[in-house]
Amino acid sequence: MNKGKKSKKTVFSRVNAWLHLWLGIFSGIILIFVALTGTLIVYGDEIIEWSAGKARYTEQVQPERLPMETLIANVNKAYPQAKLSEVTVYKDPERTVRFRTFAKGKGLGFAYADPYTGKVLKYDRTANFFYIMAHLHASFLWHGTGEWIVDIATIIFLIELISGIILWWPRKWNRHTRDASFKIKWKARFKRVNYDLHNVLGFYSSILALILTVTGLIIAFHPLAATTAKIFGGDVETKWQKAMPKNDTARSAIAINTVFEREFSRHPQQKAGQIWLYNLDSAGFYMVTTASKLGLKSAENARLAFINKYTGNDLVLPPKSLKGEYVENTVWQLHMGTWMGPVGKLFTFICGLICTSLPITGFLIWWHRGKKKKKPQPVKKMEVLVPA
């Protein structure tokens, strides 16, 4: 009977099962690490907000805001070792201005300044934990070699997901196979529960896991990112930056606050705006992002604007380049789980936990199968000679 059952499996089925097993065992530890670090990042923005505490809000709302240039100078004076990379302004008049900083030896941090008094309220380094997690997730903090290890493991995980769906798919659909495929038998023995956790949860998380895996590969491989943008009519190349105005010390720049006010009036539904500061001394334009919510790596419902720093006029990007910026942001939203607000983040977090568990439950399935007890051999009866 056993031989008969085995013969029903096609060569494709056997190869698929073999790949799913041994690729999973080969890359299991790496996949657990990558999935776990990615999962820890999901609620990074919320934890950073919580960590800021009272520094998120001004002491008292006043009629006039101080120039952004004054706030920048105050933060630079308070933390001279920290280089400012971006500034985030909130439409809510009670919110403080947040500066993203990076300091050698201290990593990523956020400085919060009162827009009315200019007082720097807090310098919070909680974000550095998520900065480290992100680099562990992408490269094990090992530039070059570590990135390739993670990328290869991600490709293996993609194969694991596809082969796992094929293994999950029942040969016949009936009540018994539906129960086995969609339900976890919690009252069964550990081996059965573990099998269901791998089989059933793996299926339920498969679509979102595929999205997370594919977007991760798009982020990792520039040719893949370029192809994705091209499919949607965009271009991720940054040649347009060469045609942008350069910094001119002989001319006076328009106030940054004016730029934010104009963008908020253009997009009244947006709640936050952001300008990159890392190139403030070299570029002659402002790149402004407004969004309903801004995070470390993505912006929800984002709108981009490129403004001449000296005239205030809009700078028009080639349509493909602008489309490419939006495609890139969409990929990051899908990968970070911000595609559907809190619901998207919750699903992404749960999916991350399941993906972390799959190599563990899969290994236990293989381990228990290898430990199957051999059937006891029948004891031969000894012939007893009875004397005549």
3-state secondary structure of 76: helix
Going 16 to 17 to 22 to 25, the CA torsion angle's sign is positive
Q: Where are the domains of the chain?
A: 236-317
Among candidate residues 304, 306, 322, 325, the one with its CA nearest the CA of residue 314: 306
pLDDT digits (tens, 9 = 90+) for 124-161: 999 999 999 999 999 999 999 999 999 999 999 999 99
* pLDDT reading at 22 higher than 50: yes
Q: Measured between alpha carbons, how far is residue 177 from residues 71, 182, 200 in Å?
A: 64, 8, 12
- How sure is the predictor about 380, in pLDDT bands with cuts at 50, 70 and 90? low
Among candidate residues 229, 250, 272, the one with its CA nearest the CA of residue 91: 272
> For residues 112 and 85, what is the distance between their CA atoms, to the nearest angstrom?
14
> For residues 41 and 20, what is the distance between their CA atoms, to the nearest angstrom?
27
Backbone angles phi, psi at 36, to 5 degrees: -65, -45
pLDDT digits (tens, 9 = 90+) for 330-360: 999 999 999 888 999 999 999 999 999 999 9
> For residues 343 and 339, what is the distance between their CA atoms, to the nearest angstrom?
9
Residue with the bigger pLDDT between 176 and 3: it is 176
Residues 6 or more apart whose Cβ sits within 8 Å of residue 56: 49, 95, 96, 112
Residues 6 or more apart whose Cβ sits within 8 Å of residue 77: none
User: DSSP of 142-178, one letter per residue?
Assistant: -TTHHHHHHHHHHHHHHHHHHHHHHHHS-SS-SHHHH
pLDDT score, position 271: 96
pLDDT score, position 4: 46
Average pLDDT of the chain, as a whole number: 92
CA 44 to chain centroid, in Å, comes to: 10
| 123: enclosing H helix or E strand | strand 120-124
* pLDDT reading at 372 higher than 70: no
pLDDT digits (tens, 9 = 90+) for 60-114: 999 999 999 999 999 999 999 999 999 999 999 999 999 999 998 889 999 999 9
Among candidate residues 117, 108, 111, 83, the one with its CA nearest the CA of residue 97: 111
pLDDT digits (tens, 9 = 90+) for 276-322: 999 888 999 999 999 999 988 888 999 999 999 999 999 999 999 99
pLDDT score, position 238: 85
| 304: enclosing H helix or E strand | strand 303-308
Residues 6 or more apart whose Cβ sits within 8 Å of residue 340: 347
> For residues 98 and 257, what is the distance between their CA atoms, to the nearest angstrom?
14
For residues 272 and 291, is the Cβ–Cβ distance under 8 A? yes
3-state secondary structure of 318: coil
CA 228 to chain centroid, in Å, comes to: 18
> For residues 272 and 89, what is the distance between their CA atoms, to the nearest angstrom?
6
> For residues 358 and 350, what is the distance between their CA atoms, to the nearest angstrom?
12
